[in-house]
Amino acid sequence: MFRTTAPPLDVMIPTEAGNTCCHLIPLSVLELDLPAPQLGSHLAGRGVEITLDDIGRLSVSRDVARMLLNEHREAEAEQARRRAEVEQRLIEQDQLRQAQIWRGIPASHIPDGLAPAQAMFAAERESQPRRRSVVEDALAGGGAVFHPIQHEADE
């Protein structure tokens, strides 16, 4: 019943010399693809002529409709690009944050008879830089280095 082939467009809408209705797109059709608030006063503010088609619907020319659809596509592409940039930035920040989390030590590195917490505490202490003793400094050839216990205030 509904599967009949449609006749060509020029047969459906006769084009007469003064008939411009076939070149109009109703705003209700544009609202299917574009957000409605953009169409109302936005068009009047841009100087776009809104006319009535042959059955009384508010319409714009095909050129204006094409321009609006192109602008909408460009805006969506820009938003997608911005979302991709923000997502990439968030991924990088998450990777940095995860890289800073201490992972502990593998179970194979825990000696027998030692609790895992003790092994992790010892591994953490060993990973921190420590001061060299006076003997280590002397043997390294740098001479003795004085490390004060308390920093004295400048007088």
Residue 104 lies in a domain: no
**Whole-Å CA distances, 5 to 1, 2, 94:** 11, 9, 56
Helices (H), the chain: 9-12, 27-30, 36-45, 62-100, 116-127, 134-139
CA-based nearest residue to 52, from 63, 44, 60: 60
The Cα–Cα gap between 128 and 139 comes to: 22
Q: Which of 44, 72, 100 is the last residue of a domain?
A: 72
Q: How many domains does the chain have?
A: 2
End-to-end CA, the chain: 103
Residues for the chain: how many in total?
155
In a domain, 80, yes or no: no
Amino acid found at 140: A
Residue 61 burial by Cβ neighbours in a 10 Å radius (0-12, 13-18, 19+): middle
In a domain, 86, yes or no: no
Domain presence at residue 20? yes
Question: What confidence tens digit (pLDDT) does each residue in 83-131 have?
Answer: 999 999 999 999 999 988 877 778 887 888 888 888 888 877 777 777 7
Say if 113 falls within a structural domain.
yes
Q: Which amino acid is at 105?
A: I
Specify whether 65 is located in the same domain as 14.
yes
pLDDT tens-digit map of 28-83: 888 888 876 556 666 777 777 888 888 888 888 899 889 889 988 999 999 999 99
pTM for the structure as a whole: 0.50
3-state class (DSSP) for residue 59: strand
Residue-number span of the structural domain to which 114 is assigned: 109-155
